[in-house]
Amino acid sequence: MLEILIHGAVSSAIYAMLAVGFTLIFGVARVLNLAHGSFYALGAYGAYYFTSHFHMPLLPAALLAIGLVALFGVFVEKVLVRPMRRSQLAVLMITLAVALVVEQALFLTFGSEYRNVPEFVSRKFTIGGVDVGGQRLLALAVSVILIGLLWIFIQRTRLGSAILAVSQDPEAASYMGIPSDRIFSIVMALSAALAAAAGVLAGPFLTVQPTMWLLPIVKAFAIVIVGGLGSIPGSILAALMLGYAETIVGYTISTSWTEIVSVAATLLMLVFRPAGMFGKRAAF
Amino acid sequence: MNKFSILLSAACVAAGLTATSAVAQTKPILIGVPTSMQLQVGRDTQDAIKMAIDDLNAKGGVLGRKLEMVVADETENPETGISAIKKLTGDDKVDVLIGGYTSGVTLAQEPHISAAKTIYLGVGAASPSITAKVKQDYDNYKYIFRVGPLNSAIQAGQLTDFIAHFVKGELGISKIAIVGENAKWVQDLVPLLKKGATAAGADIRDTEMFDAQTSDFSPLFAKVKESGAQYMLVILSHASSDVFAKQWYDARFPVPYGGIDVKSMDGDFCKRIGGKSIGELAVNFATRAPLTPKTIPFWDEFVKRTSRQPVYTAFGANDAVYIYAQAVERAKTTNADAVIKELEKTNYVGIPGTIQFDATHDVKPGTATYRGPALIFAQWRENCDREVIYPKTMRTAEFIYPPWIKK
């Protein structure tokens, strides 16, 4: 029971980091970013590359990787997405193309083998008789802190208010002198940085290989559909539900069945409540 | 038409025929290589074939013809695998196919190999169903041979011996959990393994099958622990062995593991995961040991050329080129039917052992009296070195438990 509680919390935390960024950029810029999983992959590969090729200490390597991925996010938004933002279909296609290009670039650069991202904490902890790797606990803690900081940033700062204003009505916000385009870039950078941080934190105990972008985007999609597209509280709640549902299925039935949970949740939500739990309107 | 014209025409026809024949004689023998190019098993297949081709060409080729290699990526997807066979046999018109890795892909390719009437020497896939077709429908499937690895039924037998003689016999452990990925060859192997292990006196406490995409093994480890098993016998090929080993180590999981773990055969596997496989006992089909007079020279030459240690597909691929070349020399033609008759008589001292084919064109395993290929269990040790633990006759060091397991 305690095992389910701990491992479910770790899965939920990683999912929440992925889904919050994904829903943030949709909520503010109405961009369904299929390249979001690539930010996660690039974060993990960046940490691997800087530590193994330049022998950098892990923390600077991780921060550098997250920073570069945030810049890449800005590039994707400014150069590729912005000219096509009026067409949702075009945005979907261009972000999917980015994801595929990143995957192939990783294949060509690093090959298909799994790569090792070193962990920040290598020791094992025993909580109530349950053995848990230290890196998993760190991922859980950092995830809670980062999402908390993001919440404070949006609710308590001037820039956060501007983001909220743009998310409610971009046109009215620009009449009030808020530069919407700059806000979109900032939000994309935040979203990419969160995904990259998830990659750096989960990389040491999960898969690091070129196709690793696909599963996170499926999960993020499922979570934001269940939670309601554009709703951060909805995403956090849905991430918790999905993380725990998968862990319970893994422990009580079989690990082979865990992947079907997110797909089934998405399907059921689209049929019975297309707007999701916290969504104001159906996104599709 | 006068006499001179007739003579001239006859001379022209004769000259044309001679020229055509000369071209056929000098045309290279094409070896088609369908393999997973992105994986080390695929890269090693290509490099090992290239080594054999370079060697044979330096000695004058086969029947005076040079050998050449054409590669097609079959990935791990049956549809792409079929396209690779169609390209190699239809467009490139290769004389022989040497390759393969995923059993599901090879099984899907077989009808197309048969339709193309092209000899196929498998070096990667282990499902017994692949060669079973030779016996069921010889006329259509006589083209299929397996040079390596040993099929999964034979592997199950040798794993059973490992459980009986080493896990139970030497470590004194009888409570075992079987953990395998959901793949065709594993589905073939697990029932045989369970039956054999139970007959050998082992108590199979748990059998866990998981999807190859699984990235969190915590629930699986919890179930194994709950079952009371004291040894985890793994059967992994396409799954993320790296993640499995990392999570086993990170949780300091109190149960040692070993078995068939294809990615753990990679020379850099241990270093790739930061040394977290130390203590794992993984099956290999050859190691740098004098299994035959060819093993060490091949191993060293391969490392010299590629700067990496070979995996199992390299042994089969290199041997397959020589086996085919010798069969063509004996048959004095590349005609498939004639070469098949010679291939069936193969008795070749290869890298992992002597290669002979049984009635289903499958490689014969080694026995106490016959030095054919056999499973070799090597353990990852400090500094990511490997030591042979089983069979006992080849042991280079004693087994050690991972540091967190006290015995």
For B200-239, what is each residue's pLDDT tens digit? 889 999 998 888 778 888 889 989 998 999 999 999 987 7
- Provide Rg for chain B, Cα atoms: 24
CB A29 within 8 A of CB A209: no
* CB within 8 Å: B40 and A113: yes
Residue A11 and residue A249: Cα distance in Å, rounded? 13
* CB within 8 Å: A256 and B182: yes
| B386 bridge partner residues | B380
CA dihedral A121, A126, A132, A136 (to 10 degrees): -40
Give B-chain residues touching A205 at CB under 8 angstroms: 243, 246-247, 250
CB B123 within 8 A of CB B100: yes
Residue-wise pLDDT for A135-156, tens only, equals 999 999 999 999 999 999 988 9
pLDDT of amino acid B5: 56
* CB within 8 Å: B216 and A255: yes
* CB within 8 Å: A250 and B246: no
Cα B214–B276–B161 angle (5° rounding)? Answer: 80
pLDDT of amino acid B3: 55
Nearest chain B Cα to A106, which residue? B38
Residue B165 and residue B201: Cα distance in Å, rounded? 11
How, if at all, do strands B281-284 and B376-380 pair?
A: antiparallel
Q: Examine residue B391 and say whether the peptide bond preceding it is cis (omega within 30 degrees of 0).
A: yes
Residue A87 in this model has a pLDDT that exceeds 60? yes
Q: What band does A42 get if pLDDT is binned at 50, 70 and 90?
A: very high
Instruction: Count CA within 13 A, CB hemisphere, residue B371.
Output: 14
Structure tokens given for B384: 């990511």
How many helices and strands, by DSSP H and E, does chain B display? 14, 14
* CB within 8 Å: B219 and A247: yes
* CB within 8 Å: B217 and A255: yes
Residue A263 and residue A246: Cα distance in Å, rounded? 11
Nearest chain A Cα to B246, which residue? A205
Residues recorded for chain A:
284
Residue B272 and residue B94: Cα distance in Å, rounded? 37
Give B-chain residues touching A133 at CB under 8 angstroms: 247, 250-251
Which residue has better confidence, B118 or B238?
B118
Q: CA distances (Å), A251 to each of A1, A3, A59, A216, B215, in order?
A: 9, 9, 33, 21, 14
Structure tokens given for A187: 């939000």
pLDDT of amino acid B20: 47
Residue-wise pLDDT for A226-253, tens only, equals 888 778 888 888 889 888 988 888 888 8
CB A212 within 8 A of CB A262: no
Q: What is the mean pLDDT of residues A30-55?
A: 93
Phi-psi region of B378 (alpha: psi -120 to 50; beta: other; left: phi over 0): beta
How, if at all, do strands B29-35 and B67-73 pair?
A: parallel
Distance from CA of A19 to the nearest CA of B (A): 18
Restricting to B residues 154-213, those with a Cβ less than 8 Å away from any Cβ of A are: 182, 208-211, 213
pLDDT of amino acid A283: 46
Give A-chain residues touching B224 at CB under 8 angstroms: none
- Provide Rg for chain A, Cα atoms: 18
Give φ, ψ of B67 to 5 degrees.
-105, 145
pLDDT of amino acid B157: 87
b/e B378-405 (16+ beta carbons within 10 angstroms → b): bbbeeebebbbbbbeebeeeebbebeee
Beta strands in B66-118 (DSSP E): 67-73, 96-99
What are the helix (H) ranges across chain A? 2-29, 36-52, 58-75, 88-110, 134-156, 158-168, 170-175, 180-202, 214-227, 232-252, 258-272
Residue B339 and residue B361: Cα distance in Å, rounded? 13
* CB within 8 Å: B273 and A114: yes
- CA dihedral sign of residues A66, A70, A75, A77: positive
Q: Which of A3, A135, A255 lies at the smallest CB-CB distance from B250?
A: A135
Q: Examine residue B149 and say whether the peptide bond preceding it is cis (omega within 30 degrees of 0).
A: yes
B60 DSSP 8-state letter:
T
Cα A278–A216–A53 angle (5° rounding)? Answer: 140
B362 DSSP 8-state letter:
B
DSSP 3-state of B58: helix
Residue B378 and residue B366: Cα distance in Å, rounded? 18
A vs B, Cβ pairs < 8 A, gives 88
Q: Which of A221-225, B109-113, B158-162, B371-375 has the highest mean pLDDT?
A: B109-113
Count the Cβ atoms, other than its own, within 10 Å of residue B275: 15
* CB within 8 Å: B247 and A215: no
- Give the DSSP letter string of A251-274: HHT-GGGHHHHHHHHHHHHHHH-T
Structure tokens given for B337: 């039917």
Entry pTM = 0.77
Structure tokens given for A50: 């800087």
pLDDT of amino acid B9: 56
CA nearest neighbour of B320 among B148, B118, B94: B148
Residue B224 CB partners (closer than 8 Å, separation 6+): B177, B179, B206, B208, B232, B255
How, if at all, do strands B175-181 and B203-210 pair?
A: parallel
Location of structure tokens 């008789």: A129
CB A183 within 8 A of CB A143: no
Distance from CA of A255 to the nearest CA of B (A): 6
B219 has a chain A CB within 8 A of its CB: yes
ipTM of the complex: 0.78
B244 has a chain A CB within 8 A of its CB: no
Phi-psi region of B233 (alpha: psi -120 to 50; beta: other; left: phi over 0): beta
Q: Which of B219, B252, B253 lies at the smallest CB-CB distance from A250?
A: B219
Chain A residues with at least one Cβ partner in B under 8 Å: 3, 7, 11, 107, 111-116, 118-119, 122, 124, 131-136, 204-207, 209, 215, 247, 250-251, 254-256, 258-259
Residue B157: burial class (beta carbons within 10 Å; 0-12, 13-18, 19+): middle
pLDDT of amino acid B210: 86
| B348 bridge partner residues | B355
* Average pLDDT across chain B, whole number: 90
Give φ, ψ of A175 to 5 degrees.
-65, -30
pLDDT of amino acid A281: 54
Of chain B, the end-to-end C-alpha distance in Å amounts to 100
Distance from CA of B326 to the nearest CA of A (A): 35
Q: What is the mean pLDDT of residues B334-345?
A: 97
CB B147 within 8 A of CB B346: no
* CB within 8 Å: B250 and A112: no
